[in-house]
Chain A
Amino acid sequence: MKKILISGLLTGCILFILSYSGLFLSVRFFPALFAEYNNPLFNSDGNRDLLFYLHAFVFSMALSWFWDRFKSLFHGSLLVRGLELGLVYTLVALLPVMWISFSALDVTLVMVFSWLIYGFIQATIAGVVLALLNP
């Protein structure tokens, strides 16, 4: 349990830095991609900003538990194990959620696709870090 919490927390810290700096740079250098976020579907008064930034930790804790439970099924180098976790997460969790999001919400295909790619990259990074911390 301690190992799950510590590796989850460390993975969360790394993802927090990488995810939000990546997002910050993407907004800065590809502003056109983010124009669609001026949409009432997205919270705009800042009262949920803390929850937004905690996402990296919620995500890492969940994957840390999953990794500890099923890591014996992932073989190969750190990168291969990380990529495999990224693919599993994308297929099992992200794809169905993105599917229902696109079908039910007034969001564009590009936006949903960018979330899919963003989630895959996050899960792959988490997989590499978890494979290193909890082999």
Chain B
Amino acid sequence: MLLLSPGKEQWVITDTSNLIVNGSTNINKFSCEIPSYDRLDTLTITRNGKGALLSGNVGLNVQSFDCHNSMMTRDLRKTLHQKEYPRLFIQFLSLNELPGLTAKAQSVTGLVNIQLAGVTRRLEVSYQISADADRTIHLLGFKTIKFTDFNLVPPSKLGGMIKTNDELTVTFHLRIRTI
């Protein structure tokens, strides 16, 4: 079992981290993925009583979204205004609890700022945290968001006969190494 040492610690996000967005329209479901992380970013974690403060920003390239259907991929990028806002950002703020890191995933919640198409919203995210034998920390985050929360219009086609539902489920899997 890995125990976080008191005080500050730095985590580096590895390139195998990913983000998946699941959504639906009135005719189908879609799943769009950013399969890897193209930057080297760190998170700083500071123990704060039972919980922890986190600082660090993850900037994901909207161009990297892949919906496994070229037309749908381009449609999502257009909806997210990729030309004006090429990256979406997740800024980590806090964890309500700092668990011991074991192979068994433990559930915690935390606050993040998500910036999408230039609009930032503070949200509570559910996490599952675990660590594998390789000492890689797995931070699995889940959050349901809405296009309209970020002032985005869910796409609709053919005079509204094909409508994208407002809700999206975002799952990100950060693979982290302690430095």
Contacts and interface: CB of A to CB of B under 8 A. Distances in A.
**Chains A and B are bound partners:** yes
Interface of A: 20, 23-24, 27, 31-32, 34-46, 49, 52-53, 106
A37 to B, nearest CB: 5
Given A24-B161, A39-B74, A34 B27 contact: yes
What is the interface of chain A mostly: helix, strand, loop, or mixed? helix
Q: For A36, A43, A44, A53, which residue has the most chain B Cβ atoms within 10 angstroms?
A: A44
A44 B162 CA distance: 9
Q: For A24, A27, A36, which residue has the most chain B Cβ atoms within 10 angstroms?
A: A27
Given A35-B69, A44-B79, 13 more contacts: A23-B161, A27-B162, A31-B28, A32-B27, A32-B28, A37-B157, A38-B25, A38-B75, A38-B157, A38-B162, A38-B164, A40-B75, A44-B78
Interface of B: 25-28, 30, 69, 71-72, 74-75, 78-79, 153, 155-162, 164
A45 B160 CA distance: 9
A106 B69 CA distance: 13
A46 B78 contact: no
A1 B72 CA distance: 46
Given A36-B71, A106-B71, A42 B158 contact: yes
Contacts of B158: 23, 27, 34, 37, 42, 52
What is the interface of chain B mostly: helix, strand, loop, or mixed? mixed
Contacts of A42: 157-158
Q: For B75, B78, B159, B160, which residue has the most chain A Cβ atoms within 10 angstroms?
A: B159
A58 to B, nearest CB: 14
A20 B156 CA distance: 16
Q: For B69, B79, B153, B158, which residue has the most chain A Cβ atoms within 10 angstroms?
A: B158
Given A27-B27, A34-B27, A46-B153, A53 B71 contact: no
Given A31-B27, A34-B27, A39 B71 contact: yes
Contacts of A45: 153, 155-156
Contact of A27 (B30, B155, B161): B161
A34 B28 CA distance: 9
A19 to B, nearest CB: 11
Q: For B71, B74, B75, B162, which residue has the most chain A Cβ atoms within 10 angstroms?
A: B71
Contact of B162 (A20, A34, A40): A34
A114 to B, nearest CB: 12
B71 A49 contact: no
B78 A40 contact: yes
Contacts of B26: 27, 31
A46 B71 contact: no
A49 B160 contact: yes
14 contacts: A27-B162, A31-B26, A32-B28, A34-B161, A36-B71, A38-B28, A38-B71, A38-B155, A38-B157, A39-B71, A39-B74, A39-B75, A42-B157, A45-B156
